[in-house]
Amino acid sequence: MSNTAEHLLESRRITADDGHYFFAYYDKLQFSPDDRYALAQRATFDDRPPRPDDILEVGMIDLQDGDRWIPLGTTTAWCWQQGCMLQWLPGHEDLIIYNTREDGHYGSVIVDRRGAVQTRLPRAVYAVSPDGREAISNDFARTGHTRPGYGYVGIPDPNREIPAPEDSGLWRMDLETGESKMLFSLADIAAQDAPPAMRKELNWFNHILYNQDGSRIIFLHRWQAPRLTRMYTCASDGSDLHRVSDASDPMGWQASHFWWRDPLTIMVWGGALNEQVTPGYRLVTDRTGEAVVINPELLDEDGHMSYPPQGGSTWFISDTYPDRETNLRQLFFCNEAGDRQIIIARYDAGIFNCADPALVECRCDFHPRWNRAGTQVTIDSVHEGYRGVYLLDVGGVTPG
């Protein structure tokens, strides 16, 4: 038996109405260590994909000074789903990192709270380690070609016609020196028990995340046949590679969004490819293959899940895609047992409801993000007619 309750919270829009503001993905540090500032990005439009010359403004909001907008810089390396990978640099009080496009290549830059450049790096970052010393870089030109909305435009993919190139992959980059080393090429991963379709279709990497102690990373390997996914984990140096799921297996499941609950356990949405496989949120033990599906009758669709930052909680927050009849998205808490759910927000998805293929890339998902104290959550939403960032105080309803 499941118990779904509503405790709808008021939200505060912390961005102005002079543009289209968003933070983007749910797995990045949006809040400063003292929770005073929240990072965001501002565009002048929101009804089409970015073009190479579209400039995105990067900045932060002073939550203790009337939500004042503080510009920090600009970039032309961005997309609607994940922005320019803007985030506070872990392990530092006042450093921020985001991706750039300069002199015909994608890179990244570290700035301070005034926007002063501290370091320019030769590769764009995807995931940053918990200690802020290294990052995993992806091929954003490749992803821009194979998965619009998650990569960048402006630099053509030199391997457009090559299914699994040897010079495209994942790199580990030192954030102090800028030195990098390839962990895996697409050719390396595609060569592992590759089904025939994988060898013919375009391959790419997507969705990369370090675990809490930085010892391991998780990433998705995808190919177009239609889109299928293998999920892998490995040590942060690329060793000890483990395949978590494989959609090319008749009894496998299609991995999507995920979160490290702790350094050994992953929560992931696994879609079903046949009637014998149960779709749902799964708790997976890394390197063992053990997986438990959480009440698929209650949690019956994909979402962007995360646990409170303090750790140790058996509750998580997540969201939904728009309901086909009402066009509403929901934000909710749920426990791991899958028998209690608390809906805390419900907003209209506007025209970005994924029904129009031309607008799917531009959609505005909630992508809930925690502040450092675990008392507030921000979301991106378009329910007022433009893209904005909204703050919800969840301390009063956050389950134990």
End-to-end Cα separation, the chain, in angstroms: 20
Outline where the chain has alpha helix (H): 140-146, 186-190, 196-200
Count of other CB atoms within 10 angstroms of residue 231: 26
- What's the pLDDT score for residue 91? 95
Tell me the pTM.
0.96
Tens-digit pLDDT profile for residues 132-145:
999 999 999 999 99
The domain locations on the chain are: 17-305
Domain 17-305 has CATH 1.10.3190.10: no
Q: What's the CA gap between 68 and 49, in Å, rounded?
A: 28
Q: What is the pLDDT of residue 226?
A: 85
Parallel, antiparallel or unpaired: strands 37-43 and 388-393 = unpaired
C-alpha 307/C-alpha 142 separation (Å) is 31
Q: What is the pLDDT of residues 156-198, one digit of tens each?
A: 999 999 999 999 999 999 999 999 999 999 999 999 988 888 9
Task: Tell whether the model's pLDDT for residue 131 goes beyond 80.
Answer: yes
Per residue in 217-275, pLDDT (tens digit) is 999 999 998 899 999 999 999 999 999 999 999 899 999 999 999 999 999 999 998 89
- Give the DSSP per-residue string, 280-320: EEEEEETTT--EEEE-TTTS-S----B--TTS--SEEEEE-
Please choose, from the candidates 183, 160, 153, the residue with its C-alpha nearest in 3D space to the C-alpha of residue 171. Answer: 183
- Percent pLDDT > 70 in the chain is 98
Tell me: pLDDT of 400 over 80. Answer: no
Q: What is the pLDDT of residue 351?
A: 79
Dist. CA 39–CA 31, nearest whole Å: 6
Q: Predicted confidence band at 289 (pLDDT cuts at 50, 70, 90)?
A: confident
Q: Which two tokens stand for residue 335?
A: 């426990």
Q: How far is CA 134 from the centre of its chain?
A: 18
Q: Is the pLDDT of residue 380 over 90?
A: yes
Q: Is the pLDDT of residue 356 over 90?
A: no
pLDDT of 354 reads: 57
Give the pLDDT score at 370.
Answer: 98
Q: pLDDT by residue (tens digit) across 43-96?
A: 999 989 999 999 999 999 999 999 999 999 999 999 999 999 999 999 999 999
pLDDT of residue 353: 60
Q: What's the chain's average pLDDT?
A: 95
Cα(254)–Cα(271) distance, rounded to whole angstroms?
A: 5
